[in-house]
Amino acid sequence: MTCHFVRWTSTEALPDLQRLPDRLISSTQGFSAKRRERYLKSRVLLAEMMFYFFGYPLLPTLLVSPEGRPYFADPNMPNFSIGYAGNTIAILLSEEGSVGMDIEIVHVRPTNQVVPQMQAQTQAEQAWIDAQRDPLEAATQLCTIRQSLMKIPGVNSHPPNNLKLHPASGRLRSTYTPAVEVMSDVDDYLAWACAHIPTLNRLIMWKYTSATGMRKSGEILQQQRQSVRYMKLTSHTIEKATSTASQ
């Protein structure tokens, strides 16, 4: 399965809103200035992706799930996931299957303390974190992996303790998403993770700016290793099915 992962780091004011429906723009009038800017920028990025990849001149109609996740009203449209970190907006999009994505800034703390939401959930996670050169960065990366899985449609309604990560072996176990794969890396100060059901064989990376538009910045294929911090986690169900098929 191929997914497109697009990032936009912007400190500029609101960009051109020409690809957004008037109704969507007017729906933000009651938002705070900060929320409105972030909301509209993320929809502008999504609209630019839909135009670039599929030729839609205007962003198709969006709905919002009970959990607050935006999605296209037309079930035949691509599945996508939006993430925010500082001035960076990121979107993961796929024509097939379901996706979840998260980005987090790796914060510098003098005491190297790990904030509660980034605490290891299992002994396997803690052992892996302790073995890394930068434990805070490692904990942040595991946090993005866990959050990307929780952002897959329908997943965050399940107890988070049903998800077990085994980063040392490149595996994960989930009772509610038995077939899923995640790619994750740390680029400078930003940790990211992209999850896809059922498999993630190809991840195309893009950078977007208002001035230059969409520009491809890289591509990850299968188990190709990108950096020392790159990880790919595969569910036990997928591994078992692959092993059985090869026998």
pLDDT of residue 247: 42
pLDDT of residue 114: 54
Architecture of domain 2-246: Alpha-Beta Complex (3.90)
pLDDT of residue 1: 72
Q: How confident is the model over 99-131, as pLDDT tens digits?
A: 999 999 998 655 555 555 566 578 889 999 999
Single-letter amino acid code for the residue at 229? R
Q: How confident is the model over 127-181, as pLDDT tens digits?
A: 999 999 999 999 999 999 999 999 999 776 666 667 899 999 999 998 777 799 9
pLDDT at residue 89 tops 70: yes
Q: Please state which of the ranges 18-27, 57-66, 117-126, 176-185 shows the lowest mean pLDDT.
A: 117-126
- Closest by Cα among 8, 17, 4, 90 to 54: 4
Mean pLDDT of all residues in the chain? 88
Domain ranges of the chain: 2-246
pLDDT at residue 238 tops 60: no
